[in-house]
Structure 1
Amino acid sequence: MDTNVSFYARIGAEPAVTEAVDRLYRVVLADDRLSPYFDGVDIAQLKLHMIALLSQVLGGPEGYSGRALRLAHAGLDITREHYDLVGAYLVGVLAGLGADDEILDAVRAVLAATADDIAA
């Protein structure tokens, strides 16, 4: 594997990230434990933010211009269990799209590093 190629490029760049985010939100919104967090949320706008954020996390374009994670999730009372569940769904979606273990481990590391900014 060429180590000079970003994870973003390795998974298929924007089309793959967009597909991953679409799949992620289909699963998340179908889960009764998670869907209440998204009541009244503009899902289309949220997906755009998530595409930009995930692209940046994977070494793609730095186009995320949303609020800081802590601020964006303040007051939502997201439990660690629910945060971990969304993270597991994300890793599963990426694996299903062919992301290799190195990419999945990097995503898991980012999820671990940002947990305290999101989960209550």
Structure 2
Amino acid sequence: MDGSFFARVGGQPAVTVAVDALYRAILGDERLAAYFEGLDLPSLKEHMVALLSQVLGGPAEYTGRDLRGAHFGLGIIPEHYDLVGAYLIGVLAGLGADNEVLTAVRGILAQSAADVVE
């Protein structure tokens, strides 16, 4: 049995549901929606599913830009980064992710902040 966080959250189907829920929350938040105006959302979601899957120990299929390159110049402030992180944690918790998974994701978010926030 695969004990990865990816498997524990429910694998690809659960990660896809999580990403859809995450983007519904983000796009429904007026503080965040402007960052995504004019972007190819289906492609962005596809990249996010691949990235989140890989981060959780699933298949290493992410082929997008690195975080710094993808977010450079967007003017993302710490409060907005934290808000997206809180939405992600909330979505994962809502899907039944346990505390160990949530703690690991919080750690990854903390490590990644410097590559996203300006």
- For the criterion TM > 0.5, the same-fold answer is yes
- Structure 2 counterparts to residues 56-71 of structure 1, below 5 A: 56-71=54-69
- Structure 2 counterparts to residues 97-116 of structure 1, below 5 A: 97-116=95-114
Counterpart for residue 21 of structure 1: 19
Does residue 32 of structure 2 align to residue 31 of structure 1? no
Superposed CA deviations along residues 59-114 of structure 1, whole A, max 9, x for unmatched, are: 00001000010000000000010000000000000000000000000000000000
Structure 2, gaps ≥5 residues long: none
State the Cα distance separating 1:8 from its structure 2 match.
0.3
State how far apart, in whole Å, the 2-side matches of 1:115 and 1:13 are.
Answer: 25
State how far apart, in whole Å, the 2-side matches of 1:46 and 1:112 are.
Answer: 21
Does residue 93 of structure 2 align to residue 85 of structure 1? no
3-state SS in 1 of match to 2:91: helix
The match for 1:11 among 9, 12, 21 is 9
Structure 1, gaps ≥5 residues long: none
- Structure 2 counterparts to residues 50-61 of structure 1, below 5 A: 50-61=48-59
State how far apart, in whole Å, the 2-side matches of 1:68 and 1:12 are.
Answer: 26
State how far apart, in whole Å, the 2-side matches of 1:64 and 1:108 are.
Answer: 20
The number of equivalent residue pairs is: 118
State how far apart, in whole Å, the 2-side matches of 1:63 and 1:44 are.
Answer: 17
TM-score, structure 2 as length reference = 0.98
State how far apart, in whole Å, the 2-side matches of 1:22 and 1:82 are.
Answer: 19
State how far apart, in whole Å, the 2-side matches of 1:10 and 1:85 are.
Answer: 24
State how far apart, in whole Å, the 1-side matches of 2:66 and 2:51 are.
Answer: 11
